[in-house]
Amino acid sequence: MPEPEAEMDPRIRQLALPPSLSAPPETERVLNAFQCLRHQIHGVSRHRARLSDEARWSLNDLLHRLDAEIQVFNRIMDSVIDIYRNIDEEKWSPAESLIRKRCGSHYGRYLDSIDQILAELRGMAELINLDHDEASWSIQKDPSNIGPSGPNQNLGEILLDDHQLRKFVLVVCSVSGAFGGAMNLHLSRIRDANDNLRTIDAEIHSEAVVQQLTPLRNYAETVAEVLGVENGFTCACQHHHVAFFRVKECFDKSSSQDYARSMDQVCSLIFHNTSSTEGCSWNWVNMEAEILKPEGSIPPSRPNSRQTGTKSPSPSPHIILSRQAQSVKLRLRPDHLDADFSVAGSRPLSVQNYFASTDNFVLSVEQKLQLAHKVASALFYLHSTPWLMDPWDSESIHLIRQDDGRTLIDPLLAKRPVEDSASVDRHDAHSMWREGVPTSIHLGRFLIELCYGATWDRIRTTFLSAEESSMGPIDADNFVFSRIDSWVGNPMIAKEEQPFHLEGNSYMTAVRSCFIYDFGQPSTSTSLYDEAFRLGVYTQILRPLQFALEDFQARQSRIFGPRRRHPDDFDNSIVPPRARIDSFKLFDDEDIKGDKGQKSKAADDWFLDYESVLRITRILRPARPKIPEDRVRVAILDTGVDIKHKNLHRLGMQQQIIYENFVPGGSPSVIYQDENGHGTHVTSILLKIAENVDVYVARISPDGRTWDSGQVANAIQWAVHKKRVHIISISFGFPNADQSLEPIRRAILDAHAADVLIFAATGNRGKRHPMAFPACLDEVISVSSTDGNNKMSDFLPFLGPGKRLCAIGEAIEAAWITTTETEKDRPHGTMTRRAGTSYATPVAAGVAAMVLDLVWPIRNEYKYECQTLRTKRGMLAVFGHMLVGEERDLGEYLAPWNLINNRDPNTSTGSDRNESAQKQTASLDVRDGRIVKTILATLRSVYNESWRR
């Protein structure tokens, strides 16, 4: 008998989804890129007379192969979307949405193939010297200057130069050489991507409805009824054994039709012995639960239920559970869980508490994908059963955790009683719309929580500004997701910084489907008992998550070889690093000594002078470059950063500030965090000096006392090799160098060898003490502190030769964390003034970043000079134009306007300085070129003259 449909809540139609949730026109980019490249290569035909017969034949062959792949791509798209060839530019966004619906669970893989084609087309363009920032393969949307007519730069015009023509001929003709081989490789990869698209097209129409949904839901409900409100049983050992529903694997449409066998594959009951008695023989036990039909052969047991036979469940072949008022019984067959989890110390841990915990190891990407797929499976099969009732969140999902931090990545669901079950219609209870929020949005929250390693509340408070924090829950959830979604595929954000770049496009597709909540169902149906609706949920959420896991495992196998571990295994070789706690603090703050008001005014005047520098740099570099490779990158190793501060929130939301946690045993979250304030202050100062740079904040200590040298070294390696930064700012120091700091020293040597500039604070211990480590290393640019009047700070250590660079570090007003508990998780604007070499370091590092940013656009034309600028000797040579004071005076302080404005700051003060700077701006058209020329000339002579600094 067919099940009745549930009516769709009219609030579904009122969900105002942001425009960014619509599918971006990725297919249009591929089409434009194909046409652009083909048009440009065809432009060479006017030079055929200058080509040899072999070159003309090779050119024709290249065009023939490119045309063949274009035709294949067009035929595939014709099959995927009927109106493909009749789509004009304005209709591509809705057309891409239609492609997403047609592809369903395969849309993530579709995007992978599209991205591959774009990457290969860009590689071909680079080989023939055609690539530029506005090309179809570089931009994300609105390629207004790209189309069949090609970009502004024409290959035919480029090839008027004989040298460029010879290079083009080499690329086309030298099939066995480096260039020609690369061109062939790009074409073969495009062919492979087209083959993948063919496979996707063949599978789009072959999805089958999961037939096991209703039997499993009935099975889960029957098990819950027999277990009763006690949710377990008490045996002769007098200890209560709590039941959890364990989700192991999703049903496969091709799985065996044997119902009992498929149930064992997908789920089982796990019982937890709550006793802490040392003599207890078991802690967790897996049970295969079989529902027995009433036959009258076995008398029912008491409601508490007691196993037949022995005192402990482990040696018994089976246990029978039943209730007087019910005719069904449960036969439980014990099967011990992994031996490591059968001993005392293993306990259930909710995923939400895992996110909030500070002593768990970080889940690997594969473990996250396993957990995401299994939780989505649990939601699909068990939603609105007693095992997963609305409202649910990450608190409803449990893992098994050992005392040593190891975790079993099989989600456990604890049964909850159904409230007012008699008054709730069975099919309304199974609706995917409850309490004003679609259940899929709860799943979308969970998937984002898993990606970021933080609770949804923390993610939401981080992403919402003060004005946006007053939104309602649904609007706030959609706004947060739309902001995250806008980062995906954004060419202004480096690929490795984009959300879900490790999890893959299929994972992203599932998250989008959760928030868009459009599963192709009839307008009146939101029930899992509706076949069309549950097929939509299966194909757009469950299958993409399965694809994400399979694709990740396939990539890992290609890199590391065949898998040797079972997918359910957890990595028990990972042990959370233990933190070292010392009496000294890595991050010292000094009180502002003397007249605080006078020093504050002097610091403000210093930054007023620096405004004249910023005015010039804003003309030379008017905006933050759109392409990530064109931006200077600076890493800050500190206590983290709080982007809820109004001065930093916008920068965090445009991914100008990137965060990673390296605190030993700390939270696995990648959500911005700073519980001390030191890192927030340092980050704020650096961004006041260098406005265009990308900042990578590595949290290496929560308070300055808890740290691990191995994790600090990992943070340096992360910055150098993974993020490819140009500058590292270290505003901490160790009083004495010893063997325990050897990992940090080796990491710094590695960074120095990679031409990464390293700035470190000299310390605040006074003249009778030596300089702190790592500032004392020869490879590091040490930074000491002055006040706004260029007077050296009283707390500086002894400064040896070559280690006397100073910068303002006293009374700088900058961002700090809020100290009010009620406002801890809210947007704020807390400011403070501090003193220390810690705060002089980001000033010096920021000036270096500003100088590097000035010459970065011409780095390809002046490779030697720009490479020299990335060395300690080269940067100090440029700093020589900004330094005031003599080495014999034990200190030289930075005055950036000496290079940028070429004037003496002692000629005027305060507002007079500002007026003088405004007058000098009028002659920028003459002076701005000379600034860069001065830098380049200095760099050319670095190794030809004796530089003392």
What is the set of active-site residues?
Answer: 638, 678, 838
CA torsion through residues 144, 149, 152, 153, sign = positive
318, 634, 727 from 844: Cα distances, Å: 72, 12, 11
Instruction: Output the CA–CA distances (angstroms, integers) from residue 362 to 349, 396, 669, 701, 842, in the order listed.
Output: 15, 20, 8, 17, 30
In terms of phi and psi (left: phi > 0; alpha: psi -120 to 50; beta: otherwise), the region of 806 is beta
Residue whose C-alpha is closest to residue 837's, from 771, 744, 741: 771
Element of type H or E holding 225: helix 213-227
The residue length of the chain stands at: 949
Q: For 316-385, where are the alpha helices, taking DSSP H only?
A: 351-356, 365-382
Annotate 113-170 with DSSP letters as a single string.
Answer: HHHHHHHHHHHHHHHTT---TTSTTT--S--TT-STT--SS-HHHHTTSHHHHHHHHH
Residue of 649, 672, 692, 612 lying closest to 857 (CA atoms) = 692
CA nearest neighbour of 361 among 403, 396, 413, 393: 403
- Beta strand pairing status for 657-661 and 397-401? unpaired
Q: State how far the alpha carbon of 7 is from the alpha carbons of 202, 443, 503, in Å.
A: 34, 22, 35
Q: How many CB atoms lie within 10 A of CB 233?
A: 25
CA 658/CA 541 separation, integer angstroms = 29
Nearest 5°: CA angle at 531, between 528 and 535?
Answer: 85
**Would you say 682 and 501 are in contact if contact means Cβ atoms under 8 Å apart?**
no
DSSP label at residue 665: T
Q: Say how far apart CA 91 and CA 100 lie, in whole Å.
A: 15
d(CA 201, CA 74): 12
Task: Give the SS3 label for residue 19.
Answer: helix
Could you give the CA distance from residue 659 to residue 718 in angstroms, rounded to a whole number? 11
Would you say 608 and 915 are in contact if contact means Cβ atoms under 8 Å apart? no
Residues 6 or more apart whose Cβ sits within 8 Å of residue 119: 137
In angstroms, the CA 400 to CA 522 distance is 40
Distance CA 472, CA 485 (A): 20
* Amino acid symbol at 185: L
- Contact indicator for 762, 670 with CB cutoff of 8 Å: no
Q: How far apart are CA 14 and CA 109, in angstroms?
A: 31
Residue 70 identity (one-letter amino acid): I
Backbone phi, psi, residue 163, to 5°: -65, -45
Radius of gyration of the chain measured on its C-alpha atoms: 32
Whether residue 508 contacts residue 107, with contact meaning beta carbons closer than 8 Å, is answered with: no
Report helix angle 92-103 to 26-42, nearest 10.
120
> Side-chain half-sphere of 878: how many Cα atoms within 13 Å?
30
- Cβ distance 674 to 680 under 8 Å? yes
